[in-house]
Amino acid sequence: MRDMFHEELEGINTSLLGMAALVKEALDQSCQALKNADLAIAERVIAADDTIDHTQHDLDARIINLMARQQPVATDLRTLVTALRISADLERMGDLAHHIAKLARMRYPNKAVPELLSTTIDNMSNASARIMEKMVTVLQYRDIARALEVEQDDDEMDKLHRSIISILLSDDWTYGIETAIDMTLLGRYFERFADHAVSISHRVYFMVTGDYAEEKN
């Protein structure tokens, strides 16, 4: 029975990694759609969001069922509760990639990002990809050292987010209110995506150690 239980635990971890892979693909493709005003790619990301949602629902049902049948305690219970929370973070990250794709679709055939902000948004896209890559490593290997690094990497995203606000409020902004709203939302999508990656890394740290990672000031 214990061997079967731990096989199911491992299966849940594998499913989390599979869900993370779906989110990573959604992020990569949504950023590509945004940069190139590619309607076909944007539509694929939007359609694929249902798969991420269904994956979360299935995973959560399996976790709850396993908790009900096995009544785990200590480390096993912590692992399952953490997995529930990680799946919720991953689902939200998928939603944010979905929002980015919807913005690209809404402004098609034009590019959603004006030239003045193209470098900043490219940097946010690249920072999101790096944070996602590291977060997947944390999740796969339960690497608590890297878990602490993800929050440090998030500092770059926060700086980029602040720089968008600064540009929007500057006299150089000549693209109007509608585009300013688009860019405010887009910056928030990227910033929140990174925040969820930090949250997952913190949850892995807790799952492994039983302690909470100290948050930055």
Structural domain boundaries of the chain? 2-209
Helix axis angle for 144-168 and 176-209, nearest 10°, is: 170
Cα–Cα distance, 24 to 2 (Å, whole number) = 33
Structure tokens at 84: 């529930």
Global pTM exceeds 0.85:
yes
CA angle 176, 181, 185 (to 5 degrees): 150
Which tens digits make up the pLDDT trace of 137-158? 999 999 999 999 998 899 999 9
pLDDT at residue 217 greater than cutoff 80: no
The yes-or-no verdict on residue 6 having pLDDT over 90 is no
pLDDT digits (tens, 9 = 90+) for 12-33: 999 999 999 999 999 999 999 9
Based on DSSP, count helices (H) and strands (E) in the chain, helices before strands.
6, 0
Could you read off the pLDDT of 74-130 as tens digits, one per residue? 889 999 999 999 999 999 999 999 999 999 999 999 999 999 999 999 999 999 999
State how far the Cα of 115 lies from the Cα of 187, in Å rounded to an integer. Answer: 15
The CATH code belonging to domain 2-209 is 1.20.58.220
